[in-house]
Structure 1
Amino acid sequence: MKASVGDRIVTASGVVGGAVRDGVVVGCPHEDGSPPYQVRWSDTGEESLVFPGPDSLVRPADGEDADDADGGEPRRTRSVTWRIQVSLVESAGSTTAEAVLVAGPPEHDDVGALRGVGHARKDPQDLEMPVIGDEVAAGRALRRLADALLGQAEDDIGTVTGQRAHVHG
């Protein structure tokens, strides 16, 4: 891996569900561009010395990546973070969850319309375990949100191509 000052580093989280981090290389002590790099992280503004691992990639400052494997044209990479908020309400053995895409594709002004709702109800003979109701209701809400996202993709494909689209999920 080689980098220069001004390049971006994108690093996947080391934990499941963790955020992808990106930052700008602000220092590169080796002339050949080898690690480590001094990186200013975009989420905190903090700087740290980074030895990138296999879960990291370098995006050159000019936006071009290395040629693809078959020697074709350089590829552009893109890194985007979408945020989903799940809200839960539990009352009298019934749980309702709402999953909303709160920060999604900037091309859509109607992002708030992308949501899913899920419900779970405890059987009267079951033990009181609210976390299970939360998991079931949230899982159902996220499944419905996923269906809404796939539906949005189908609509977008249809708009671009002029033909009805079906995305297999």
Structure 2
Amino acid sequence: MISTWHATVHVFDADDVHRTTTAHAILTTAAGTTLLGTGRARRRPSDTDVPEIGGELAVARALRSLADQLLEATSGDIAAIEHHPVHVPA
């Protein structure tokens, strides 16, 4: 059996005032459950303006957030079946 999950990542480029790049990672499971991970990267005033670096960091943080949420959901699902607290390590 094959199931398809969909992941979408949106990157919002840094503006000149706040120098913050934001990323949203959206995961939709085959069952229709949706999780949203958010990540941010902030460029210091003294940093060279390289938008790709801010995007990479913001996306990495968004995906890490998403992964943490998925591990937490998995722990909860297993705990519901086994009737005791479960922690799934990363």
Tell me the percent identity.
38
Give the deviation of 1:168 after TM superposition: 1.0
Q: 4+ residue runs of structure 1 moved beyond 2 angstroms? A: 78-81
Q: 5 Å matches for 1:6-25?
A: none
Give CA-to-partner distance per residue, 1:83-119, whole Å, 9 cap, x none: 11111112222101111103x141xx5x22x111100
SS in 2 for 1:137: helix
- For residues 25-104 of structure 1, what are the structure 2 equivalents within 5 Å? 78-90=1-13, 91-92=15-16, 93-102=19-28, 104=29
Residue 63 of structure 2 aligns with an amino acid whose one-letter code is L
Q: Report SS of the residue matched to 2:67.
A: helix
Secondary structure (helix, strand or coil) at the match of 2:46 reads coil
Residues 48-85 of structure 1: CA distance to partner in whole angstroms, max 9, x if unpaired?
A: xxxxxxxxxxxxxxxxxxxxxxxxxxxxxx32222111
| 1:50 corresponds to | none
- 3-state DSSP of counterpart to 1:128: coil
Matched, 1:118 2:39: yes
TM-score (norm 1): 0.49
- Cα drift, residue 162 of structure 1: 0.8
In structure 1, distance between residues paired with 2:75 and 2:36: 16
AA aligned opposite 1:94: T
What RMSD, in angstroms, separates the aligned Cα atoms of the two structures?
Answer: 1.2
Q: Which has the higher strand share?
A: 1
Corresponding letter in the other structure for 1:81: T
Q: Distance in 2 between matches of 1:163 and 1:105?
A: 27
Is 1:166 the equivalent of 2:83? no
Larger Rg: 1
Q: Indicate the residue corresponding to 2:62 in structure 1.
A: 141
The one-letter code of the counterpart of 1:89 is: F
Q: Give distance in 2, aligned partners of 1:130 and 1:124.
A: 13
Instruction: Give the total of aligned pairs.
Output: 87
Match of 1:154 in 2: 75
Q: Distance in 2 between matches of 1:163 and 1:81?
A: 30
